[in-house]
Amino acid sequence: MDLMEYQGKQYFARFGIPISAGGIADSVEEAVAQAERIGYPVVVKAQVTTGGRGKAGGIKLANTADEVRFHAANILGMDIRGHIVRRLWIERASQIAKSSTRFDENGQPKAEEFYASFTLDRSAKKYLGMLSVEGGVEIESVPDALIAKIHIDPIDGLSEDDCRAWIAAANLPEAAREGALSVLMALYRCYTEGDCELAEINPLVLTADGRILALDAKVTLDDAARERHPEWSEFEVAAVAAGDSREALAKERGLQYVGLDGTVGIIANGAGLAMATVDIVKQVGGAPANFLDIGGGASAEVMVNALSVINADPNVRSIFINIFGGITRCDEIARGIIEAINRITLNAPIVARIDGTNAAEGRAILQAHESEKLIMLPDMLSAAKKAVELAGK
């Protein structure tokens, strides 16, 4: 489950990670009321579970009530990578310190904005911490050499000595190191004790008065740990009210769905195959619009529900159905796909690949119904390439 920024900051606060004062708003007048309560200047921030908000115009500085009204009115209802903004976070603006050693291409001192995160490195079977002295909106273009990484054995945990060495390797300025130590240790506790799949701060900043603050929060909670966290239900309620309408629709229909920013809709059976499908679409130059796992069965009703969710995403230009029949036979899967297609008016063509039990029979059924709206291909790679090609048209 992906949290919005304000939810991530609320989660951070439980572990002692310092954040700026702020409040949520669902209307222009609520935004003004929050700004008046907090005190100017403030930052008006779109709340959606996707990146690129700043570049899309979803984050604006405001010095007066009129400026808050103007920005809030423009941001509410904005479409950011397929996510409609229905909620704002109004935050007290922070004065960020300037570096004495790092300069931009114009010779101006860079802001002391850093990047920090914890996630899982599955290949190493260890936690992975990443820390960079170069944070902010251009983090994706930061050279790998400027990102200090640390692998942490889950049994041993992260010690303060290891954390200090990690901070030194990232070359954080001396003025930020003690504060960063405290925040990183707290972020590690948030990641482990809070059952996160990802806990990320970008940017983590050094303020002009010497404090370390988390100015943003990206948190993904591990769905497998729900039973340990009854308090997570508040996040689910908020997601339905103000989050990704695609994910709300999928949850309503009992589907394992995560909305992404691309144009190739993905349906697969099994989490492993769904992740592999997302990966191969990326590898052949495409952009997945979602992760959707329909589980072990692929009945007509399941397919109708899955295609309904994919079809509701206006960014989807092609749909890649990637199925491996195990206990469920491929001929049954194929009949389910055809029945689902007959019950839904699709906005995008389907590329289907099925393999496994009774694959030949299933392929024959799909081939008999092939058209511009349904293309059957025998292997995963060629199907992914075709789906990406169709999405580009």
- pLDDT tens column, 239-267: 555 555 677 677 777 787 888 889 999 99
d(C-alpha 162, C-alpha 168), whole Å: 10
144: Cβ–Cβ under 8 A, 6 or more apart, which residues?
none
pLDDT (0 to 100) of residue 244: 59
Average pLDDT, the chain: 90
Q: pLDDT tier at 8 (50, 70, 90 boundaries)?
A: very high
pLDDT (0 to 100) of residue 55: 87
pLDDT (0 to 100) of residue 14: 94
115 catalytic? Reply is yes
pLDDT, average across residues 333-346: 86
d(C-alpha 130, C-alpha 146), whole Å: 10
List the chain domain ranges. Answer: 21-92, 98-227, 245-391
CATH architecture of 245-391: 3-Layer(aba) Sandwich (3.40)
Which of 11, 115, 188, 191 does the annotation list as catalytic?
115
Cβ(138)–Cβ(163) below 8 Å: no
170: Cβ–Cβ under 8 A, 6 or more apart, which residues?
114, 131, 132, 133, 147, 148
21-92 and 98-227 have identical folds: no
389: Cβ–Cβ under 8 A, 6 or more apart, which residues?
none
Cβ(308)–Cβ(267) below 8 Å: no
29 catalytic? Reply is no
Q: And the tokens for 221? A: 């909670």
Question: Is the predicted pLDDT of residue 166 greater than 90, yes or no?
Answer: yes
| Whole-model pTM over 0.75 | no
Which of 200, 247, 257, 332 does the annotation list as catalytic?
200
d(C-alpha 142, C-alpha 199), whole Å: 19
Domain 21-92: top CATH class: alpha beta
Q: How far apart are the first and last CA of the chain?
A: 32
- DSSP code at position 97: P
- Among residues 187, 212, 197, which one has the least CA distance to residue 15? 187
Is 3.30.470.20 the CATH number for 98-227?
yes
Q: pLDDT tier at 190 (50, 70, 90 boundaries)?
A: very high
Indicate if the alpha-carbon torsion angle 204, 206, 207, 212 is positive or negative.
Answer: positive
pLDDT (0 to 100) of residue 296: 66
Cβ(295)–Cβ(269) below 8 Å: yes
Indicate if the alpha-carbon torsion angle 329, 382, 51, 99 is positive or negative.
Answer: positive
What percentage of the chain's residues is helix, strand, coil (to nearest 5)? 40, 25, 35
Residue range 201-220, pLDDT digits in tens: 999 999 999 999 999 999 99
Task: Count how many residues are written for the chain.
Answer: 393
pLDDT (0 to 100) of residue 164: 98
pLDDT (0 to 100) of residue 345: 85
pLDDT, average across residues 265-289: 92
DSSP codes joined into one string, 325-386 = ESSS-HHHHHHHHHHHHHHS--SS-EEEEEEETTHHHHHHHHHTT-BTTEEE-SSHHHHHHH
Radius of gyration of the chain (CA): 23
